[in-house]
Amino acid sequence: MLKSNLDFYAKTLNCGQMGVPFNYLSLEVGGNPRKKKFWEPVLNKLKSRLSVWKGRFLSMAGRVCLIKFVLSAVPLYYLSLFKAPDVVCKSIIGIQRRFLWGWGKFKSSISWISWKELCKSKEEGGLGIRDIRKFNFALMAKWKWRYISNEKGRWKEMLESKYGMELNNGLVPMKYQSWWWRDFMSICREGGGEGWFQKEVGWKIGSGDKIRFWEDVWVGNSKLKTLFPRLFSLSLNQGHKVEEVGGWEGSMWRWTLSWRRARFEWETVMESELGDIISRVVVMKDENDALVWSSEANGCFTVSFAYECLGKTDRGPQIEAFRYLWKAKTFPNVMLTSWRVLLNRIPTRLCLRRRGVLLDTTECALCKTNEKLCQHLFLECKVACSVWSMFFRWIGVLFVKHNDVRVHFESFNLTQGSNKQNLIWKGVWATIVWCLWEQRNEVVFNQGVVDEEEVFQKAQLKSWLWLKHNRVNFNYSLSDWVLNPMVCISSYK
């Protein structure tokens, strides 16, 4: 528009003028989301929310919690509208990682567990932190879902008038497509072939008003034209909607497929197979065809399910120990320490040396012998051994000694105990591990004195505190718990 015209209209309408880009709802309208600069407000906000300085006052469990919360709150608006470039994803992960690891007594920032591992689900040994790239894709995919579903909206009409309803049809040449549209399409194509999104979307037949008989997937898992290529080539119904391939006779639906010519005998065999498949379909007079999200029971799209679908390919097996660990009855930070111990990623001297930290000794702080295993402190150590035997004397059970921490934890069950009771014992296990670790740090950093009794009593106290505050009907005093633990939890069946 000419400047003079613009001035004229602005004057007539009595309004001001502005240019792009401008800020609207803290979002830069007209900016280029493929540039890092566009994302700077998000990065700055994340940096201030997840500053290392703040992290120092939180336990690791608290930091994990904050990372999850901040990610799902702060950049949501941006991430649900635009595809974040790789460099931005990397920066966000960098901020999260520094916040999680960049603090503490060692003043180093060793990432003890790779970010990929942390993003795994809890059952696979991770912490279930969302991977920013996949999260971004899942959020963006919501637009595609809204685009192809029955929802109405001005935004949709606009896009439809330019690109049509058939996605991927290449109606508009690449150079005329907007960057947003290109990003949007590329997200749904992720994973090769038709893309992850298409694989998850299926049709639910109504009156047959939208589904194309041969070309859409609506019965079984593949298109009819792929199942019966020969018949497809003979069909006069190519490109037809289901409602055009049959008709109502009173309340009965009859299929009326039309063919280019009479079929040979061997083709009639295929025809009857096709007939079998479609005869099982119930066509409904008064309902529209609808798209459904296949992995959801109610067929509706949710971002968290889309996120799960995106991660399907690199999902690993569930690990027994972690299936129980996160259900164990104890404090979050206690669980988190055990999680690191079970993964063998805890900064004992031997572990630190193996990670290239120069130390003059790998002597165990508690028993003063050389650590042969990274997990020495928790099983092999003389101090740990006597704490564990105090525990078994306390509950009056004999226990086989295991040399592997994970096996020790997994088999830490009382055969006569109920599921709930065993989860309480698993909680106590984690508490003992946590107390051993605390004692070790006390000795290393605060000139503490090694005291097995103290470690064990602390574990008793801490587990009692948990029960007291988290179990409604737990009315036992600490001395009840210390003298008769089996009685105290006998009501948890």
Binding site for Zn ion (CB under 5 A): 364, 366-367, 381
Q: Which C-beta is closer to Zn ion: that of 364 or that of 424?
A: 364
- The nearer residue to Zn ion, 244 or 451, going by C-beta atoms, is 451
CA pseudo-torsion sign 386, 388, 389, 393: positive
Helices vs. strands in the chain: H and E counts, helices first: 24, 6
Min dist CB 331 to Zn ion, Å, is 25
Q: How far is the CB of 447 from Zn ion (least distance, A)?
A: 17
The pair of three-digit structure tokens given for residue 314, joined into one six-digit string: 């690199």
Neighbours of 301 (CB within 10 A): 22
Around Cβ 487, how many Cβ atoms within 10 Å? 11
DSSP 267-298: HHHHHHHHHHHHHT----TT---EEEETTSTT
Tell me whether residue 325 or residue 381 sits nearer to Zn ion (CB atom).
381
Q: Indicate the residue among 117 and 451 with the shorter CB distance to Zn ion.
A: 451
Residue 324 CA to residue 421 CA, distance in Å, equals: 12
> Of 212 and 440, which CB lies nearer to Zn ion in the complex structure?
440
Which of 46/351 has CB closer to Zn ion?
A: 351
The residue (of 26 and 370) whose beta carbon lies closer to Zn ion is 370
Contact 338, 409 (CB under 8 A): yes
Closer residue to Zn ion (CB): 376 or 406: 376
Q: Smallest distance from the beta carbon of 437 to Zn ion, in angstroms?
A: 12
Distance CA 144, CA 185 (A): 8
Burial class of residue 329 in the structure, from the number of CB atoms within 10 Å of its CB (0-12 exposed, 13-18 middle, 19+ buried): buried
Could you tell me the smallest distance in angstroms from the CB atom of residue 365 to Zn ion? 7
Q: Which two tokens stand for residue 381?
A: 């150590």
CB 326 within 8 A of CB 231: no
Return the DSSP state at 36: G
* Nearest residue to 197 (alpha-carbon basis) of 119, 239, 132, 140: 140
In angstroms, give the least distance from the CB of 336 to Zn ion: 22
**Minimum separation from the CB atom of position 459 to Zn ion (A):** 17
**DSSP states of 204-224:** E-SSSSS-BTTTS--STTS-H
By beta-carbon proximity to Zn ion, the closer residue of 117 and 380 is: 380
Q: Which of 321, 366 has the CB closer to Zn ion?
A: 366
Tell me if residue 18 falls in helix, strand or coil.
coil
> Least distance in Å: CB of 383 to Zn ion?
6
For Cα atoms 346, 113, 345, give the angle at the middle one, nearest 5 degrees: 20
Phi-psi region of 450 (alpha: psi -120 to 50; beta: other; left: phi over 0): beta
- Tell me the closest approach of the beta carbon of residue 352 to Zn ion, in angstroms: 15
Q: How far apart are CB 323 and Zn ion at their closest, in Å?
A: 29
253 three-state secondary structure: strand
CB of 369 to Zn ion, least distance (A): 6
